A and B are shown apart, each in its own frame.
Chain A
Amino acid sequence: MSDQRPDAHQRSRTIDFALKAYLLLGYAFVFAPIAASFVFSFNSDRFPSIPLGSFSMDWYRAVATDPLVWEGLRNTLLVGTVVAIISTALGFGAAYTDYRYKFFGKQAYMALALLPPTIPVVILGLAMLAFLSRVDLAGNAFAVIISHVVICAPFAMALTRLRLSQMDASLEAAAWNLGASEWAAMRHVIIPFTAPAILGALFITAAVSFDEFAVAWFVSGLNETLPVKVLGFLQGQVSPRINAIGTFVFVTSMTLVIVAQVLLTGRGAKTEKAALEEE
């Protein structure tokens, strides 16, 4: 390994510095707007400008007392929870099907199952609206749930598939051989083994649904989720309340994603460590 990866002292200090600076710049570019939004959400001034005014929680208070925001949040949480559960279940099923069975057209099946996230959201939103209004489902929370499941299930599938690919190929057969029926093996072997991926998928899909705006905007009708509400605010007036909501949404999704990361890598790292110890 050491001959492939030069040690720190062998690397030029200048290049080392430049690489770190490049990385920092990259992160700064991505996170500066969010940080600015965060800072201005605590700023008393009506318009975002430098120098800052005094520290204030006014905008949070304004948001917290707005019944429209609460309604949006309620919709978002409801949709997010239901979407997480349904899409994780569907994603798990698709991944297990891929793991367990060989059948004609499997590649087409997998390609279709992975397709939704590659479709531009505007097109997906429009298509969803057209379809759901035809079957009289548009304009309510169901519509958002259905659309978000379409977007989220592939993520859940990808995570579960990755975990299943790390499984000893004989593990399930070993369970059968020891007297477990196919259902018992599912319950006592496959699900426990993929548990980190299932939990991770729950959090990631919740986060995706929580953030998703475009499709929800098309199909939500009066049951707007929080991101759609935010757009409503923006169109009316530029208010620092948006910064407050933005900060809240950002912190929530980051928390979900980080929890998912910890679940997914935590288990992996543990197994790896144990394997290293053995050697």
Chain B
Amino acid sequence: MQRDTLVAFDGVIKRFGSFVAVQKLDFEIRKGEFLAIMGSSGCGKTTTLRMLAGLEAPSEGSIRLAGKPINDLPTWKRDTPMVWQSLALFPFLNVIENVEFALKMRGVGKTERRQRAEKWLDRMQISEFASRNVAQLSGGQRQRVALARSLVVEPEILLLDEPLSALDAALKVRMQTVLKTLQRETGITFVYVTHSQSEAFSMADRVIIMSRGKIEQIGTPQEIYRTPKTRFVADFLGSSNIFTGDVVHADAATIGLSTPSGTFRLNAAAGGAVKTGQQATITVLDTKPALSLDRPAEGRNMLRAKVIGEEFVGATATIYLETAGGQEIRVQKSHAELSDLPVDIGQELYVSWSQDDGHLVSAA
């Protein structure tokens, strides 16, 4: 590990009555990284963040910040400022008073507090609104006030709870750049909770994917995208084709899997060890398969499927196909690649991919 650990979750469990919101979290947050915690609502991501902020107490386990256990430290004695989903700006204070708040609570004198707040207003490019009422600001400006308010104490770590969810798409992308730049320039560790894959993957150095109170996978966006570790992750990302079947062949080099859509081969190195006769699940990233009218060369994994729809986003198109057995296949192609291929609905095509493109995932 090239960077020091800033936060360590050690066997952390959180129960609300009989409901287990978070079950046994063990992970570390590195100093200076941008970590995204991603999952659908109710997966425990916000509870995890709130435990780190000191707004919820873990039922079991310990959380350490810079080596010190912080379980029993109330939130006002931790330096773990949070940017709230609702932003939670103080409506009865103007912009600069909002930003000064944390300094005021720490007993910083009036002149110093104003200076430090002004510095952050300047940095967030909202100096001109210093004496405005927060209700008079636009969504993006309010976002900047919320960031300045949390960062004014120059903490080691900043927690963000879906802060961009209220913004429109264009502004969201702009704020992502602002956040990423800010994180890189300040070197402050960001922990960013979101349900949005695009937000997590575009900003984070590492991503944690959670489901039902458990961590499914931790890794860089690339690792997670290319080699989803579990079936849940592959499903959640929605960018892989998933095949489940029985292992019919397993040697040092190759694994053969018999699925309802056909028998596919993949490299034995790609994923855990399996034995013949076991059930297994493989994923094939939607950018990998080739589409063709003619039968592809022998040796490639292939299946026949009918086009059932297509979707265009920018320069790429996603073709949706269905096999005779009813399995849905998605393939992403650039417009150029599709130019001489008929992809009208109902057209039968060969879908094929190399043995290198399949990955084994754990079924759980």
Q: Which residue on chain A has the smallest CB distance to residue B103?
A: A179
* B136 in contact with A277 (CB, 8 Å): yes
The interface residues of chain B lying within 8 Å CB-to-CB of A271 are: 91, 135
B142-164 vs A: 1/0 string, CB under 8 Å?
Answer: 00000001100100000000000
A170-185 contacts to B, CB under 8 A, are 170-171, 173-181, 184
Contact of A178 among B85, B135, B137, B149 (CB under 8 A): B149
Contact among B80, B104, B106 with A177 in the assembled complex (CB-CB below 8 Å): B80
How many Å lie between the Cα of A179 and that of B149 in the bound state? Answer: 12
Docked-complex contact B76 and A193, CB < 8 angstroms = no
**For the complex, what is the distance from the CA of A89 to the CA of B88, rounded to whole Å?**
26
In whole angstroms, how far apart are the Cα atoms of A225 and B228 in the complex?
A: 79
| Interface residue? B74 (CB, 8 A) | yes
* In the complex, chain A residues whose CB is within 8 Å of the CB of B27: none
Q: Does A53 contact B (CB under 8 A)?
A: no
Which chain A residues in 60-80 approach chain B with CB under 8 Å?
Answer: none
Rounded to whole angstroms, the CA-CA distance of A180 and B100 in the bound complex is 12
- CA–CA, A278 to B101, complex, Å? 24
How many residue pairs link A and B with beta carbons under 8 A? The number is 75
Prevailing SS type, chain A contact patch = helix
Contacting residue for B102 out of A168, A179, A277, CB 8 A: A179
The verdict on A275 contacting chain B, using a C-beta distance below 8 Å, is yes
Q: Are B105 and A184 in touch, CB under 8 angstroms?
A: yes
Q: Given the known A-B contacts A275-B135, A278-B136, are A174 and B106 also in contact in the complex, defined by CB atoms under 8 Å?
A: no
Please tell me if the beta carbons of A274 and B86 are within 8 angstroms of each other in the complex: no
Closest-CB distance, B83 to chain A (whole angstroms): 9
Bound: A40/B149 CA distance, A: 62
Given A174-B82, A193-B91, CB of A181 within 8 Å of CB of B76: yes
Decide if A82 is an interface residue (CB 8 Å cutoff).
no
Contact B84 A178 (CB under 8 A): no
A177 touching B81, Cβ below 8 Å: yes
Query: B-contacting residues of A (Cβ < 8 Å)?
Result: 168-171, 173-181, 184, 188-189, 192-193, 195, 271, 274-275, 277-278
28 A–B pairs (Cβ distance < 8 Å), ordered by A: A173-B55, A173-B88, A174-B82, A175-B90, A175-B105, A176-B74, A176-B76, A177-B54, A177-B80, A177-B82, A178-B76, A178-B81, A179-B76, A179-B102, A179-B106, A179-B153, A180-B76, A181-B74, A181-B76, A188-B105, A192-B93, A195-B92, A271-B135, A274-B136, A275-B135, A277-B136, A278-B135, A278-B138
